[in-house]
Amino acid sequence: MATADLKLSKGPTLEPGVDQGVHIIFVPPEVAGDPGTDVPPSQKQLDVVGDAVASAKETDVIVFAGRPWHLVNHKLEKHPEVHIKYPDSVLKVRVSVERAVWWSEEDFRITDIGPHHPAAAAGPPPFPLPTTTPETDIAKRAEPIYVARSKEPDPKAQDHEYKITFVWNKRKIDPNMKCI
């Protein structure tokens, strides 16, 4: 198994106290020998990826082997179970105050915002689908980063949890967000 320098960005400019940034880290196969989407990664592969993304926050989304993961206590934890075991891995955005800002070194699109679970009571859409645009990161690196900035969530969305569906390279990833 090889490790690779992921050349992670420092992220976009965020307004303190308003913007809640979520880094979406797409891990290339050469980092830990990606087994593909049909085979779960080994613990050794997960450990290698965890070391490569050691600076990730609990709410950041690490995409490896076609699946979303969260880094909790220096270990990759599987989505969606991670949100039950570690509730702080769910992005929380205060209605009428904060905005979600998803960003990545790879281009992605947000295609849907829906209830976090099919049986969950559907809340009203918290905000319109954010569009993704290329931006320069705060370190002024040569390559652009891709950023999707939400509006402030509607107060009617308070206490509702959502799945934010991203599409990258024809794959869907759906991390959670809760309006508080």
Phi, psi of 175 (to 5 degrees): -70, 165
CA-to-CA distance for 144 and 107, rounded, in angstroms? 9
Task: For the chain, give the mean pLDDT.
Answer: 90
CB atoms within 10 A of CB 170: 5
pLDDT, position 66: 83
Tens of pLDDT along 157-176? 999 999 999 998 888 888 88
Phi, psi of 68 (to 5 degrees): -90, 140
For the segment 19-36, the average pLDDT, to the nearest whole number, is 87
Contact 23, 17 (CB under 8 A): no
Tens of pLDDT along 75-122? 999 988 899 999 999 999 999 999 999 999 999 999 999 888 766 667
Q: Which residues contact 24 (CB under 8 A, 6 or more apart)?
A: 60, 61, 63, 102, 103, 104, 106, 108, 166, 168, 173
pLDDT, position 1: 45
2 has pLDDT over 60:
no
CB atoms within 10 A of CB 159: 11
CA distances from 27 to 78, 94, 156 (A): 15, 30, 36
pLDDT, position 76: 95
β-pairing, 161-168 vs 171-173, is antiparallel
pLDDT, position 86: 95
4 has pLDDT over 60:
no
Percent of the chain with pLDDT over 70: 94
Helix (H) or strand (E) holding 45, with range, is helix 43-52
